[in-house]
Structure 1
Amino acid sequence: MQFREITGQHAVKQRLVSSVTENRVSHAQLFLGPEGSGSLALAVAYAQFLSCEDKQPDDSCGVCASCRKYQKLMHPDLHFSYPTFGTPKESAIDFIEQWRTALSENPYLNLDTWRGYLDSGNKQANINILECHQIIKKLSFKPFESVYKVLILWLPEYLDKQGNALLKIIEEPQPNTLFLLVAQNQDQILNTILSRTQLVKIPPLGFDEIQEYLVANHNQTETAAAEIAYLSNGSMAEALSMLQQDSKGYHNLFVQWLRLCFGNKGLEVLSFVDSSSKMGRENQKNFLRYGINFIRECCLISAGAEAMVHLPAQELDTARKMAAVMNIAQSETIIDELEKAHYHIERNANPKILFLDVSLQIIKVLNLKIVPPGNHYIPN
């Protein structure tokens, strides 16, 4: 994998390239970024650049023997460790073929997608003590072909206390051994491991970066790509997941829902509840997520911060109209209801009952002007 294949993250790429060209490669590094930011892909591209036999000024060559093996994720000096969902007698090496397939098909792999490749249902993910011993064994040998032997540990958050078995190999590795941890949540990593790594912080992707990627690589229209980018909150993994859903036209549907609640159109609200309950769980989650984001944009407009709003022209015009009839206290109350609904949908709540309850709460806010205590409601 080359840096040029990874969307955005130009500053991070430059920092990684500079660390190699200036001979400042730390033996243990933590690539810390939110899900879908490309942190795993960056770690692989960095390892490929380190091992490349004909380094270019800002990327690996992509054609030397080392790069060709890296492209297939089959270089003898490249090792992976990752959470599995099986028994304590299974380690990462038992699933290496599935891992290579999953990462090759989706460089923005997340845990749910990885779970799907292993058909693991709702089993608990973890990195067990057997895997820790395998890591120690792999890193105890000298590099076979390249200057560096590299181990990429994806999601060290799933290391329990047995992760302390890795402390000595992290602190005193063999010469030219590189340990790359790729994490999403710093607070869930063992402090003993965290203190022994150099941090490489990776930000979420920008709205424009995700939109351009979807248009260029997935044949999305500007409008469809903008809506997905808006919903994804900087996560390419989330954006790619949304491409698999049946429909993304959430704006008109959400605005229709607000208008029905604003006018207290009882029968029409019930009709909406019935249709929304049949959307499917993932579409329901995305629909609610769109609503949360849209109402937040209305809040920004109400607060005089329209310059920070990212909405297509038609949706921006609607948001302005909504902001004119809905103050910040009302908006906050609706956001709270939508967030609770999203939480319960994830936990398989009955969608018909849930959407009816949320509709009634929105009617109270928009039609009856009732805002719960604590939301300092100021009449328009």
Structure 2
Amino acid sequence: MRFKEIIGQAEIKHQLIKSVKESRVSHAQLFLSPPGSGAILLAIAYAQFINCTDKLDDDSCGVCTSCRKYAKYIHPDLHFSYPFFTSKDVKTSTDVIEEWRDMLLEEPYFDLDFWRSKLNSENKQININIAECHDIIKRLSHKAFEADTKVLIMWLPEYLDKEGNALLKIIEEPPPKTLFILVAQNLDQILPTILSRTQLLKIPGLPNHEIEQYLMDKALLNSQQAIEYSFLADGNLLEAKRLLEETEPEHAKYFIDWLRLSNSGDYLSLINFSETLAGMGREPQKNFLKYGISFLRECGLIMNDALVLVKLPPYSLEVARNFSKKVLNQPMLEALVTELEKAHYHVERNANPKILFLDVSLQLVNIIKFKNIPLGTQYI
């Protein structure tokens, strides 16, 4: 994996390359990032750059023996650790390393659900167990086979329970030329003893324009579709790819029409509109409701004069501004979000879509037109 193969993250790439050139590579680093941002790819590209035998100015060469092995994730001095399901045949992560490599080659912007789908769960809990910790210590105690630096990349150290304390000594005092990179998503769930021994690097989600460009280049979407999908994906490239498979376009138009019909109280049109929504597939219905929730939360930012944080695409931003200033108030916003989240919950559980969307439409009329706010509504 070379830096140039990773979408966006130019500032982070520059920072990592600079640390190698200036010989300021900390032996234990924590990459903290949201899902779908490419953090683990950055960790692999960083390790590849460190061990490349013919470095370019801004990337690894991609053709030396080390780079070719890194490209297939088979370099003998590149080690991985990750959550997995234990069984009589699977005791440590190396027992499912082929599944891990295949997944990286298939979909490098993966998440935990995607990884789970590649494994046989047998109704067990996924974690990083004590046997894995002992295996890590054993692997790193050996001398490097080929590279100058041995690298261990641990994905989701949040799944290390207290057994992770077994790694403290080797993280704090590793063998010479050993690099630990932990790639995490939730800082609060990492053992404090491990957290205190690592250098933190925060990696942001991908900006909307990067995802938009990817969708236009790779999926051949037009600019309006790419803007809508990137807004829904919220910095997660894997989510954007899923939306391509599951979502019907023009959610923004449909949702704005739904709000306008609810505000007008045109019941016959609402019944017809509910039939249209009910005719969508289950995944498009879920993503339509997800778009609505995101749209309303952006309206909440507008209501609180936080326009600089709003990520709505231009063609729906003006509608959101008018709706926020002329129609919405905070209790209404909270009630609307709650109704859509309840609807999303029921769609997931195979509720009758005709009944569900007609009921939600009537609830929207009650909230928007008649200001009938359900008691106990909470904004989530």
Q: 1:357 to 1:187 in 2, by over 3 A?
A: farther
- Tell me, yes or no, if the aligned pair for 2:154 and 2:183 is still in contact at 8 Å: yes
What residue number does 1:367 align with? 369
Per-residue deviation, 1:321 = 4.2
Matched residue type, 2:23: N
Distance 1:126 1:354, change over 3 A: farther
Corresponding position: 1:14 with 2:19: no
Q: Which residue of 2 aligns with 1:28?
A: 28
Specify the code of the residue in structure 1 equivalent to 2:368. L
Q: CA offset at residue 21 of structure 1?
A: 1.0
Identity of matched residues, %: 54
Q: Match for residue 291 of structure 2?
A: 290
Segment of structure 1 superposing worse, 308-317 or 44-53: 308-317
Measured after TM superposition, the shift of residue 121 of structure 1 is: 8.1
What is the 5 A alignment of 1:55-66? 55-66=55-66
- Could you report, residue by residue, the CA deviation over 1:20-74 in whole angstroms, capped at 9, with x for unpaired residues? 1111111111110011111111111111011101112221111111111101111
> Structure 1 pair 88/133, CA: closer, same or farther in 2 (3 Å)?
farther
Q: Is the alpha carbon distance of 1:343 and 1:13 closer, same or farther for their aligned partners in structure 2, counting shifts above 3 Å?
A: farther
In structure 1, give the amino acid aligned to 2:52: C
| 1:228 CA displacement | 0.8
Structure-to-structure mapping, 1:242-281, within 5 angstroms:
242-266=243-267, 268-277=269-278, 279-281=280-282
Quick one: distance in 1 between partners of 2:177 and 2:164? Answer: 22
Return the alpha-carbon distance in structure 1 between the equivalents of residues 154 and 334 of structure 2.
40
Structure-2 residue corresponding to 1:76: 76
> Which residue identity does 1:358 align to in structure 2?
V
CA shift in 2, pair 1:354/1:136, >3 Å: farther
Corresponding pairs, count: 375
Runs of at least 5 residues in structure 2 that lack an aligned partner in the other structure: none
Q: Does 1:358 align with 2:344?
A: no
Q: Name the structure 2 match of 1:173.
A: 174
Q: Could you say if the C-alpha distance between residues 133 and 215 of structure 1 is closer, same or farther in structure 2, counting changes exceeding 3 Å?
A: same
Which AA in structure 1 matches 2:2? Q
Q: 1:159 to 1:279 in 2, by over 3 A?
A: farther
Partner residue of 1:97? 98
- Written as runs of structure 1 = structure 2, the 5 A alignment for 1:28-177 is 28-87=28-87, 90=90, 91-118=92-119, 120=121, 123-177=124-178
Deviation sequence 1:284-333 (CA, Å, 0-9, x none):
33211211222233344455555554444432343344335422322333
| Equivalent position SS for 1:358 | helix
Counterpart residue type for residue 109 of structure 1:
F
| Higher mean C-alpha displacement, 60-69 vs 275-284 | 275-284
Letter in 2 for 1:335: V
The separation in 2 between residues aligned to 1:279 and 1:150, in whole angstroms, is 48
Q: Which amino acid aligns with 1:253?
A: Y
Q: Secondary structure at the match of 2:8?
A: coil
TM superposition score normalised by structure 2 = 0.90
Report SS of the residue matched to 1:241: helix
TM-score, scaled to structure 1:
0.90
Counterpart CA distance in 2 for 1:356 and 1:30 is 48
Question: RMSD of the alignment, in Å?
Answer: 2.5
Task: Mark the CA change 1:338 to 1:121 in structure 2 (over 3 Å): closer, same or farther.
Answer: farther
User: Aligned equivalents of 1:22 and 1:117: distance in 2?
Assistant: 40
- Which residue does 2:211 correspond to in 1? 210
Q: Which sits farther off after the overlay, 130-139 or 144-153?
A: 130-139
The answer for the alignment partner of 1:200 in structure 2 is: 201
- The one-letter code matched in structure 2 to 1:113 is F
Q: 1:114 to 1:253 in 2, by over 3 A?
A: same
Q: 1:278 to 1:158 in 2, by over 3 A?
A: farther
For 2:6 and 2:186, the matched residues in 1 are separated by 21
Query: CA shift at 1:223, angstroms?
Result: 1.3
Give the CA deviation at 1:269: 3.8
Q: d(CA) in 2 for partners of 1:153 and 1:360?
A: 49
Instruction: Sort the Cα spacing of 1:119 and 1:274 in 2 relative to 1 into closer, same or farther, 3 A.
Output: farther
Give distance in 1, aligned partners of 2:370 and 2:14.
55
Taking the aligned partners of 2:211 and 2:124, their CA distance within structure 1 comes to 31
Equivalent pair of 2:247/2:283 in contact (CA under 8 Å): no
